[in-house]
Structure 1
Amino acid sequence: MDTPQNTALTRALTELPGPLPARGVIHIVIPHTDRFTVVGNHLAQHAGLSTTAVGLAVRIQSLPQGTEIGIKALAARLSEGEKLIAAALRELEAHGYLRRARTRLTNGRVVTRTVFCNQPTALLRNRVGATRPQRPPAPPQAPALPDVQQEQAPEAPDVRQEQAPEASAPQDHAPFVALVQPPTAPRQPSPPLPQPRELTAELDRAATALLSDLRRHASQLVLSESDVRQLAPAVAAWLERDTHPDTIRHTLTNDLPQPLRHPAKLLKHRLTVLLPPPLPGADDLAAPARPRIAVTPFQTCDGCERAFRAPTPGHCRDCRNTHGPAQAAA
Structure 2
Amino acid sequence: MDTPQNTALMRALAEVPGPLPTSGVVHISLPHTERFTVVGNHLAQNAALSTTAVGFAVRIQSLPQGTEVGIKALAARFPEGEKLIAAALRELEAHGYLHRTRVRLPNGRMVTRTVFCNHPEALLRPRPADASKRGPALVAAPVSTQAPAPVTAPVSAQAPALVAAPVAPHVPAPASVPAHVPAPAPVTPHAPLPAPEALETPAPPPVTDRPVPAGPLPPAPPAPRLVPPPTAPKAPPRPLPQPRELTPGLQQTAVALLSDLRRHAPELVLSEADIERLAPATATWLERDAHPDTIRQALTTDLPQPVKYPAKFVRHRLTVLLPPPLPGTEELAPARPRTVVIPLQTCEGCERAFRSRTPSLCRDCRTACEQPAA
TM-score under structure 1 normalisation?
0.50
More helix by share: 1
Larger radius of gyration: 2
TM-score under structure 2 normalisation?
0.45
